[in-house]
Amino acid sequence: MYKVEAIIREEKLQEVKAALQAIEVNGITVSQVMGCGAQGGYKETVRGTEIDINLIPKIKFDIAVSSEEWKDKTIEAISRAANTGEIGDGKIFSYKLEDVMRIRTRETGVAALN
Ligand SMILES: Nc1ncnc2c1ncn2[C@@H]1O[C@H](COP(=O)(O)OP(=O)(O)OP(=O)(O)O)[C@@H](O)[C@H]1O
Ligand SMILES: [Mg+2]
């Protein structure tokens, strides 16, 4: 199992969500977060205006998937949908996920994801 964590532009929320629905991921968590990358938050444009504060509102997606194949599909879908080519497009982190439990049934591991 893998965990995919993507930080994207606020205005890409719907597009990324649609791209994930299109590949039929089994669950997503979305959060409103603040962050900055290599530019320290400076020189990023938010809704057409260049802003000069150093923490910029972003959207974070957390997705747990059952296999390496699904991890790759998920990253591909997010990276295509979130790309504008401008600085501040975001980052995708992925790592091995040790376990998950579906609370209702107490299933664990891949069975809890599918
Ligand atoms: N090393 C990091 N660790 C944790 N979060 C990060 C890191 N880099 C970027 N982020 C998060 O991703 C968001 C978007 O980052 P951003 O796209 O600006 O990265 P970047 O490395 O500066 O790339 P670019 O040059 O394309 O802007 C940040 O606002 C922050 O929330
Ligand atoms: Mg940046």
pLDDT category of residue 54 using cuts at 50, 70 and 90: confident
Q: What is the pLDDT of residues 76-102, one digit of tens each?
A: 999 999 999 999 999 999 999 999 999
Q: Which atom of ligand 1 is nearest to the CA of 37?
A: 22
pLDDT category of residue 5 using cuts at 50, 70 and 90: very high
For ligand 1, pick from 4, 5, 7, 12 the residue to mutate: most ligand atoms within 8 Å of CB: 7
Number of independent structural domains in the chain: 1
User: Residue 8 is part of a domain; what is its CATH number?
Assistant: 3.30.70.120
pLDDT at 30: 98
Distance CA 8, CA 60 (A): 6
Pocket of ligand 1 (CB under 6 A): 7, 35-39, 56, 58, 87-91
Range of the domain at 31: 2-113
